[in-house]
A = this chain, B = another copy of it.
Amino acid sequence: MLNSEIIAVGSEMLTPQRVDTNSLYLTDQLNALGIEVRRKVVVGDDRALLADAVRQALQNAQIVILTGGLGPTEDDVTRDAVADALGRKLILRPELIEQLEERFRRLNRKMAENNRRQGLLIDGGEALPNTRGTAPGQWVEVDDRVVLLLPGPPHELKAMFANECLKRLERRVPPQVIRTRFFRVAGMGESDLDQLIAPVYSKFANPTTTILAAAGDIQIHLRARGETEDEAERLLNEVAPPIEALLADRLYSDNGDSLEVVVGKRLRARGETLSVAESCTGGMLGERITSVPGSSDYFVGGFLVYRDAIKTGLLGIDPALIAAHTAVSAEVAQAMAEGARARTGSTYAVSVTGEAGPESSTGAPVGTAFIGFAGPSGSETSRLNLFGDRSGIRNRATNSALDLVRRKID
């Protein structure tokens, strides 16, 4: 497989406000060609540091792409730094200067003297026309490797990459087909999941397996490469079905759909509706459900019952029940779900009550939460011991509530 490295150039990208997003576009394009991105680097406008970065990149990657630093000012050091790294000269190309002057004429502007720097080409390199701006790009071959100099402004970069680089890169890549699977899993910690499935995936370098975890929601990306569709499919099938079997009903999606989308699709298909009653999550559960366009097909609404008096007032929960068990209890979770279902007339209702911290209001440890579920065939509750800060606990409780709904309407 071909390897690439992306180097973003510009001191502004070393400030606390800016990220390099050009590399996301480039990664997407390169991956689609079957080229891996092994490393990304951000360097300021520093000629010596940048030349070092180029030298290092050429040790790791067959394709090195630099973005930015091709402007007309003294700060724009990419041309000089790459020339230094390759030990080559910069050559002023009169035809590039003419094209620049022509461009300025068309815009009725006079070309500044420093724009002439944009006519400097690395010896042996080829200029890549820029249809959206002044700075030409450069394609420089170094033995079997390529160094690409592209402009920093995203619209210039994208047009130049699509028009001038894609086809040439494609010709350097052995033909291959990619097949992917995108699993999502609820109700497991990352290390438990890894212990369960590592014996399967760690035997294979192809497909690659990437595991991402966030607050009780785990994503597993499988990516198989083959010379033919059959081969890619066969490679994927060595890993995907065994992982599916191990995860069993903890697997809620095999196409990357989120929990709220999975739950929504099932409700819509069944023509059924859902309501919520939230205490510690304060609206997060409703917010997640309604983040899906068209959720009004199955979500009717619900109750934010943050204070005990409101649990009583809006949902008719007996104050004696709260007094006997506290608001953070299976009994109150169940009464909340039943109260929401009765008052909205929804097919199902789900509730959350818990201690999100940092302080406990009922004496139950922070992280204790109860989920309630009510439907036509009765009610049930589930107790959770969650970890994390306030936001983590609320996110995990929300995921657990959505996951309980998913399991109940399977």
Contacts and interface: CB of A to CB of B under 8 A. Distances in A.
A125 interface: no
Contacts of A389: 132, 155
B314 A307 contact: no
A286 B278 contact: yes
A56 interface: yes
Interface of A: 11-17, 19-21, 24-25, 27-28, 31, 37-44, 46, 49, 52-53, 56, 60, 71-75, 107-109, 112-115, 132, 155, 189-192, 194-195, 198, 202, 208, 210-212, 221, 276, 278, 280-291, 293-296, 299-307, 309-311, 313-314, 343-345, 357-359, 361, 367, 385, 387-392, 394
Contacts of A394: 291
A282 B293 contact: no
B300 A310 contact: yes
Please list the 9 inter-chain residue pairs (A to B) with the smallest Cβ-Cβ separation, ordered nearest first: A282-B290, A283-B286, A283-B283, A16-B28, A283-B287, A301-B310, A40-B42, A301-B306, A302-B304
Contacts of A345: 313
Please give the count of copies of this chain that the complex contains: 2
A301 B293 contact: no
A390 B75 CA distance: 28
Contacts of A20: 19
Nearest to A20: B19
Contact of A343 (B15, B306, B313): B313
A358 B131 CA distance: 13
B289 A282 contact: yes
Task: Give the dominant DSSP class at A's interface.
Answer: mixed
A379 B336 CA distance: 30
A118 B163 CA distance: 48
Given A17-B212, A191-B73, A287 B296 contact: no
A211 B49 contact: no
B41 A39 contact: yes
Given A40-B42, A73-B198, 9 more contacts: A11-B210, A12-B212, A15-B27, A15-B210, A16-B25, A39-B53, A109-B385, A282-B287, A291-B391
A284 B282 contact: no
12 contacts: A15-B221, A16-B210, A38-B49, A40-B41, A73-B198, A74-B198, A278-B283, A282-B287, A283-B289, A301-B303, A301-B314, A313-B345
Nearest to A346: B310
Contacts of A42: 39-41
A359 B293 contact: yes
B282 A306 contact: no
A115 B189 CA distance: 12
A306 B314 contact: no
